[in-house]
Structure 1
């Protein structure tokens, strides 16, 4: 019923303005007006290219640390390894918070420009990292990857908000909103993880399977191409119709919004924190976990096996995308995480027997990664963007993602220490899977009791928020950008 009413309003508005109902942006009546194009699956999915780049740039460090450990065995201490892994994650937290605010106040397009600048600058500096000492070079790399992280973190808010609002712009896209958004977010990022492993394998093979400075410089530098390639195309995409209709750029009602949305904000933030606490350490430590089965593995063996394991997340992301539209967001969330709980306990409990059956370990570990992607991997982005109104979507989405990224930094530190605290590596791996399973069980409970059902349309959620503001004495007459262009 609400869909029908929305379409009638859209049709009336379009008749008055002579704009087709499927156009994703409101008309620009200024002298410098830019043309817009009808919403399509392509305009949704293009957002995923930027997040693919983010996944690549985050994960490539895990593989390059294997190379660096052979090049700089004395200088690359455990503390420097942790800082190298966490620097981009810390930058991402800053970027998520900063650009979450930015895209609500100044528009989605402004965020595209600023995030790309930070990302490209950070990649260039980390690729060219140097110093009077090896330790100095590492510190330049740490700072540079932090800058890249600010841009990458900002893309979480920018890309997810733009993808969701575009996917809700007409009836045909809305029917596949869950699938389109999950492809543009989680699938893009995990594909970036796998892409980084493929690049690492090719470059290592080109260097004759021997550690070389050129390997990490080439692999870092390749990360610059995608963000630059799509930058000019993304610049042509204007802010979504939903944002232009409901934006609040001044006098933002923070307290009223928190009073209404504190529960989903807490639920989304906790769920994302627990997911990243598990998934990022397991991605970064994949070469270490697999190398425990082989004495003195080559670079290609370490990277190749971990690439295979991480590749299991791709079919998981695709299956999860279909399930979000078919059985619902919360149900997909809980289902995926529940299966991860079982798999984690099985792998942890049977870790010693699995030591004699390496292929079975790889398959079980792969399914562990796959169902992490089916449930929380897909639903974190989707639920955290659908649960909040358009005027504050960037704020709340950015905050939830930042809390999640803090979980990845903390999880990487804690689980790495746990893994290294055992003389027998197998004992450490056993504890790792049991802890990951326990965290996943807690995440399943958070989803069941704190995650809301998604609104059928974004307009329905935005209309309820506007009504709530009016009931509490907030002047809504200045909401939206119509008439300001």
Structure 2
């Protein structure tokens, strides 16, 4: 086992394209840490571009009150989600087959193209403009979804490249995935506030075009930096680029795959609707809120997820992934039932409602928010990490679409808005109970090193008659 570990943390790595001659390069711990950081910047960009539509719909509702029907709103929200599901599945397969760097090129291309088209959206009618926006947001979603698999896999494998980084692997991965994305959510609200204020707090077409267009800068800025990064030594050692043993892999990993997928589905079922409905949940305290007030309340509520993501990342390395996962879910259960039970008295104590709601959001980030990425990437071997991670993330994203639809219907089914919000929190807590049980019974303990699971998988394949001699990209001497 020590020989495997030595190989895993070796500093000598090779360029990942099998079509290029191998080149020996030194990959030190600082270089690997930089690689992790760059993935976080990329996912921050994705968080911004995904969430910005929620804020811009508030602007569009004032600009185009007749054309922005409920069905158009739904399509605008869901188009990027559908694109993300496609991107997660497609690029999860792509990065295992062709390498992580190939995924960077393709996902950036889709994301940038989609942003350009949505920023320039036009039509003979306003409805026609919306349809162009729907399609282009779907294209951007393919790139954003693909980044989940690309960035998480690269961040995890880079954070495992040396003994010093392995001790902080959980924290490094969580800050470059969940923290980066929720920071992107908050960043989109800050940009929206600044642009709206620049337009005098009055709805204007320029607001949504500027806010969409700003989303193109980060992907392009870091693209060439990301292209200079190498595929991990772990991928180069264990990659399977043909004759993928799908049936053997599913037979071995079906339980953690099901557990990770269900946990992610349940998390997105809760967190996305509560993010989108944040202005609605605080609207009872503010009569006829302005654009700045609507976006500002959303920014405040969503910002609570940031300290939660940092604290959760710290916990994962201290008490373990599964324990952090379960504790986060369990506290969300308690907070949701507490807010739901006190929802009517809380109408008169707005600061307390904001604090409790903020902690609800924060512990969603502490547990499942952080651990979805980390556990869904650590639970599977390197040669199939993209496959399984992409699948689990896609199932999760489907949960966000289902949850948004179900919880919006539940909220609107009550004439008394406060009663509807009470039921909303009760549903969210009930889902969290299921999430806690899924984690306890279906999530595995994490391996100390990625090489540990990769070696077990290779031995398993050999025991079942699979030829492992062609695995990996490293030169054979």
TM-score, with structure 1 as normaliser: 0.95
Instruction: Check if 1:337 corresponds to 2:326.
Output: no
Structure 2 partner of 1:439? 431
| Cα separation, 2, equivalents of 1:195 and 1:389 | 34
Equivalent position SS for 2:177 = helix
Q: C-alpha deviations, 1:308-347, integer Å up to 9, x for none? A: 1100000000000010000000000000010000000111
Mean Cα deviation higher: 265-274 or 284-293: 284-293
Structure 2 partner of 1:167? 159
Cα gap change, 1:348 to 1:27, in 2 (>3 Å):
closer
Structure 2 partner of 1:177? 169
Instruction: Check if 1:328 corresponds to 2:320.
Output: yes
Shift of 1:206: 0.4
Mean Cα deviation higher: 34-43 or 85-94: 34-43
Instruction: Check if 1:469 corresponds to 2:457.
Output: no
Structure 1 partner of 2:415? 423
Cα gap change, 1:23 to 1:364, in 2 (>3 Å):
farther
Shift of 1:483: 2.7
Does the Cα contact within 8 Å between 2:36 and 2:158 map onto a contact in 1?
A: yes
- Aligned-CA RMSD value: 1.7
Does the Cα contact within 8 Å between 2:340 and 2:423 map onto a contact in 1?
A: yes
Q: C-alpha deviations, 1:134-161, integer Å up to 9, x for none? A: 1111111111000000000000000000
Does the Cα contact within 8 Å between 1:330 and 1:453 map onto a contact in 2?
A: yes
Q: C-alpha deviations, 1:80-105, integer Å up to 9, x for none? A: 11111111111000000000000000
| Cα separation, 2, equivalents of 1:332 and 1:359 | 28
Matches within 5 A, 1:239-250: 239-250=231-242
Structure 1 partner of 2:227? 235
Choose the corresponding residue for 1:299, options 283, 291, 301. 291
| Cα separation, 1, equivalents of 2:409 and 2:218 | 34
Cα gap change, 1:224 to 1:459, in 2 (>3 Å):
same
Shift of 1:24: 5.1
Shift of 1:38: 2.2
Choose the corresponding residue for 1:107, options 99, 113, 124. 99
Q: How many residues align?
A: 474
Unmatched segments (≥5 aa) in structure 2: none
Matches within 5 A, 1:215-294: 215-294=207-286
Structure 2 partner of 1:66? 58
| Cα separation, 2, equivalents of 1:114 and 1:451 | 32
Shift of 1:284: 1.2
Does the Cα contact within 8 Å between 2:16 and 2:230 map onto a contact in 1?
A: no
Cα gap change, 1:27 to 1:130, in 2 (>3 Å):
closer
Structure 1 partner of 2:362? 370
| Cα separation, 1, equivalents of 2:25 and 2:459 | 33
Mean Cα deviation higher: 32-41 or 448-457: 32-41
| Cα separation, 1, equivalents of 2:300 and 2:423 | 22
Structure 2 partner of 1:354? 346
| Cα separation, 1, equivalents of 2:69 and 2:6 | 64
Equivalent position SS for 1:306 = helix
Does the Cα contact within 8 Å between 1:23 and 1:39 map onto a contact in 2?
A: no
Instruction: Check if 1:194 corresponds to 2:186.
Output: yes
Equivalent position SS for 1:191 = helix
Structure 2 partner of 1:22? 11
Shift of 1:177: 0.2
Equivalent position SS for 1:474 = coil
Choose the corresponding residue for 2:311, options 319, 322, 335. 319
Instruction: Check if 1:117 corresponds to 2:106.
Output: no
Cα gap change, 1:25 to 1:70, in 2 (>3 Å):
same
Structure 1 partner of 2:372? 380
Instruction: Check if 1:38 corresponds to 2:28.
Output: yes
Unmatched segments (≥5 aa) in structure 1: 12-20
Does the Cα contact within 8 Å between 1:62 and 1:285 map onto a contact in 2?
A: no
Structure 2 partner of 1:149? 141
Equivalent position SS for 2:229 = coil
| Cα separation, 2, equivalents of 1:85 and 1:335 | 31
TM-score, with structure 2 as normaliser: 0.97
Shift of 1:22: 2.8
| Cα separation, 1, equivalents of 2:296 and 2:185 | 13
Shift of 1:402: 0.2
Cα gap change, 1:127 to 1:436, in 2 (>3 Å):
same
Shift of 1:44: 1.2
Does the Cα contact within 8 Å between 2:15 and 2:22 map onto a contact in 1?
A: no
